[in-house]
Chain A
Amino acid sequence: MNKSSSWRTPLVILVAGSIILTLAMGVRHTGGLFLQPMTADHGWSRETFSFAIALQNLVWGLGSPFAGALADRHGAGRTILGAAVLYVAGLVLMSQAASPLAFDLSAGVLIGLGLSGTTFAVIMGVIGRHTTPAKRSLALGIASAGGSFGQFAVLPVGQMLISAYGWQSALILLGCGVGLIAPLAYAMADGHQPAGGAGQSVRQALHEAGSERSFHYLFWGYFVCGFQTAFIMLHLPSFLVDAGFTANAGMTAVALIGLFNIFGSFFFGWGGGRYSKKNLLSLIYGLRAIAIAIFLIVPLSTAVVWVFAAVMGLLWLGTVPLTNGLIAQIFGLRYMSMLTGVVFLGHQLGAFLGAWLGGRIFDETGSYLVAWLIAIGLSVVAALCSWPINEKPLVRPAGAPA
């Protein structure tokens, strides 16, 4: 555990970090609500809008290792503050963007960079440093549940703001909400010992992680997580409409996933403190494969859809506290933010592929069946990959920098 100012207790850091994740993840989740009004007002195509959001997801993933390294090297407080400024600037400029290029730079690049520094990579690193190993997984689970709550709660708020004030004012109001991250960043300025000097360098830490098989298993496991969550969140409603359900059924399914995700994130965080994290990860991926297979096999009904959504919600972001907790456990806390950022890049690459491939497969075959089967296969691979992870702390040779 790190020593810091007396008022920055682990509880204060946990609460501040959870609220930051709630705001950052929640506001990001409202992006799609702006498609209709923005494209209508500007005369843009849906592809123009979708490209900027896809760019945002990619920048978020690519920026996470760098944001993590910045936090490890120069402190989390400054990194979060800088990212919050970029996030707010992105939302404000998005409201004023008059050309696709300006929209790409604001909604895509600036908000993507803002997300890199205000979400899992940086926040989990600070929380991880300020909790004892026994309570770390639970704390990461609580913070994850905060992000899950944001995704669940801010979407209706965003819709209400657009309805009440119009999309431009709604973006600025959401920007004000993200601005609340700035004072909270002060609580996250934990005085983490800057990396460098006689200790392990960034390059050495990356090389060490890259030469460990367990790190690769975590990276590809997270890739599968991103693939499945993006595919299901984007394409499940269409799948249900094609199967004869109303749009309302799709909406309820999404709400159930969001609701149960809060409990799942907390539960698996708690479980990671008591049981083997890699076994729990393996269990999550295995259960996802079983749940999807049953969903495809049994005759579809409203009850089946609701149960499937609830089960998938429970298994949704439970991977976050377990994956981040394993990185802290195996590689230590010094470069936790950076290494968490690297595996998160895997998550985002998987998410990009899941979202894109789902649509592509549907266009090619007229059905989502092949995409569901890929999701099952990847889940089995991820379950098998998680099992051999060596979760013992890395033993460094005597005299090696740590």
Chain B
Amino acid sequence: MSPRLRWFLAGVGAALAALLLALIFMAYQMPELLLDWANIRYCG
């Protein structure tokens, strides 16, 4: 595998990982999760 292709694939992987983390972060804004937050506080 050429170094250029390796860097390209690493970049794609990093971008996909960043996208996944951003999506999960947005999921924390779900109303249901907010409503249940009090429960998490009780249980850790």
Asked if A10 lies at the interface with its beta carbon under 8 angstroms from chain B, I say: no
Q: State the majority secondary structure of interface residues on B.
A: helix
Please, which residues of chain B bring their CB within 8 A of the CB of A255?
25, 28
Select from chain B the residue with minimum beta-carbon distance to A235. Answer: B41
Q: Hey, what's the 0/1 contact readout for A143-187 against B, CB within 8 Å counting as 1?
A: 000000000110110011011000000000000000000000000
Select from chain B the residue with minimum beta-carbon distance to A263. Answer: B21
Q: State the majority secondary structure of interface residues on A.
A: helix
Candidate in A153, A156, A237 with the most chain B CB atoms within 10 angstroms = A156
Partner of B40, one of A32, A46, A252, A262: A32
Q: Quick one: which of B1-44 are within 8 Å of A by CB? A: 21, 24-25, 27-30, 32-34, 36-37, 39-44
Known: A36-B36, A234-B44. A259 touches B21 (CB 8 A): yes
Q: A32 → chain B, closest Cβ, in Å?
A: 4
Partner of B32, one of A159, A238, A252, A254: A159
Flag if B29 contacts A31 (CB, 8 Å).
no
Known: A156-B33, A159-B30. A46 touches B24 (CB 8 A): no
Flag if B24 contacts A251 (CB, 8 Å).
no
Known: A156-B24, A159-B30, A259-B21. A251 touches B42 (CB 8 A): no
Asked if A50 lies at the interface with its beta carbon under 8 angstroms from chain B, I say: yes
Flag if A53 contacts B44 (CB, 8 Å).
yes
Flag if B41 contacts A53 (CB, 8 Å).
no
Flag if B34 contacts A247 (CB, 8 Å).
yes
Flag if B36 contacts A159 (CB, 8 Å).
yes
Show 16 residue pairs from A and B whose CB-CB distance is below 8 angstroms, ordered by the A residue.
A31-B44, A35-B42, A153-B24, A155-B28, A156-B28, A159-B33, A163-B32, A233-B44, A235-B41, A237-B37, A251-B28, A251-B33, A251-B37, A252-B28, A254-B28, A351-B44
